[in-house]
Amino acid sequence: MTADQLTKDQSAIVVDCSDQQMQEIGFVAGEKIQVIAVALFGGSRVVQIGASTFACRDEELATVEVVIDK
C-alpha cells in the first residue's frame, strides 16, 4: 500500500520511496511513519517520520510504499 492510503493515527513502516525529494527529507526504507492529521476534504496529510513532522500532498505520499506497523 502507499502512504496516501493511511488514515489518521495509523502507523506504518516505509518499504520504498520512488521520489528523490521525499527520500532526502527522510522517507527511506525502515523509517516509521504516522499520520497526525488528514485534510477535511482530502488532498494532504500531516505525517510524522522519525523526529520530523511534514504536511505532504497525497500525490507525494503516493510515491511511498509502506506496510502497516503492527
The DSSP secondary structure of 31-70, one letter per residue, reads -EEEEEEE-TTSSEEEEEETTEEEEEEHHHHTTEEEEE--
pLDDT of 69 higher than 90: no
How far is residue 37 from each of residues 5, 6, 10, measured CA to CA in Å?
Answer: 13, 10, 10
Q: What pLDDT is recorded for position 42? A: 74
Q: What pLDDT is recorded for position 59? A: 95
In this prediction, residues 18-28 reach a mean pLDDT of 96
Burial group, residue 51, by CB count within 10 angstroms (0-12, 13-18, 19+): exposed
Q: What pLDDT is recorded for position 22? A: 96
pLDDT tens, residue by residue, 36-67? 999 988 789 999 999 999 999 999 999 999 99
Cα separation, 5 vs 28, whole angstroms = 18
Q: Which CATH number does 3-68 carry? A: 2.30.30.90
